[in-house]
Chains A and B, each alone.
Chain A
Amino acid sequence: MKKSSFGSVISTAILCYLFWLLITGQIVQIFTGGASVQVLIAGVLVSILVGAFSGRFFIHESPFYLWNPKRFFTFLVYCICIFPIELFKANVDVAKRAFSPSLPVNPGIVKIPVDVKSEYAQSMVANSITLTPGTITMDIVEEEGQTYYYIHWIDVATEDGREAGDAIKGTMEKWIRRIWE
């Protein structure tokens, strides 16, 4: 078991504190005045406790990597402009398949190579792939320095790894590499 570093504890505690403010409804009262001091202090204590126990499960690499205007801006652009377009295309595609009378599915599991290195980027690519309807990441393996994903795909167009990877990942991988590298 890894030892929890100071940065991971602090970043997890900040996330927990934001969540506390959201749940207790204090996040608006801070700006309008009338926030209860007792609730705020109790939140600090609880979130530091939670961070000390569970920080090592969440953060393995540099905790404040996104604390950089350029990277954060790229991240926001990806989340607001690039990803919803892919999401919309895939959603319409799967909805059409469900409504059409002949049910044109062609399922299968393919193995695609992925060219990102850091842990955050890998999990972000995997989550983006799973969040688009029509593809689900089933496992991640590493063979000879190259990372492979096993993807369940509802409409297998090609069984070749490279072409399937280009069809599944689309523009997402390029943007994620721009964020994390």
Chain B
Amino acid sequence: MSELIFFAICFIVMALCLLIRFIIGPSVADRAVAADSIDILADMALIIFALYSGRSVFLDIAFITAILGFVGSTIVARYLEGRL
């Protein structure tokens, strides 16, 4: 199924578009939200690639990336609130 790889490329292109917001974002919160969303989009691309190749190693990588993204954005939020 070669269209799966095309869908994965779509997600990667959207993640690259979000890099614009990550670079120009005027405040810290914009950058945190953009980084979180880039993380989720890259995970989606990894899941689709895991389906395409039929190997579940990529699913494990996507899972770990999701956990790290959640922990990272929560820690950034806590720092912004001034309680770290």
Q: Which residue of A lies closest to B64 (CB)?
A: A23
| 1/0 contact string of B61-75 vs chain A (CB within 8 Å) | 001000000000000
Which B residues touch A23, using CB under 8 A? 60, 63
A25 to B56, CA, bound (A): 10
Which B residues touch A25, using CB under 8 A? 56
| 1/0 contact string of A13-37 vs chain B (CB within 8 Å) | 0000000000101000000000000
| 1/0 contact string of A122-139 vs chain B (CB within 8 Å) | 000000000000000000
A23 to B60, CA, bound (A): 8
Q: Which residue of A lies closest to B63 (CB)?
A: A23
A25 to B63, CA, bound (A): 13
A152 to B63, CA, bound (A): 30
CB distance from B68 to the nearest CB of A (A): 14
| 1/0 contact string of B46-69 vs chain A (CB within 8 Å) | 000000000010001001000000
CB distance from A15 to the nearest CB of B (A): 15
A50 to B60, CA, bound (A): 21
CB distance from B25 to the nearest CB of A (A): 17
CB distance from A105 to the nearest CB of B (A): 16
Which A residues touch B63, using CB under 8 A? 23
CB distance from A161 to the nearest CB of B (A): 25
Interface residues of B (CB under 8 A from A): 56, 60, 63
Interface pairs A-B: 3 shortest CB-CB: A23-B63, A25-B56, A23-B60
A-B residue pairs in contact (CB < 8 Å), sample of 3 = A23-B60, A23-B63, A25-B56
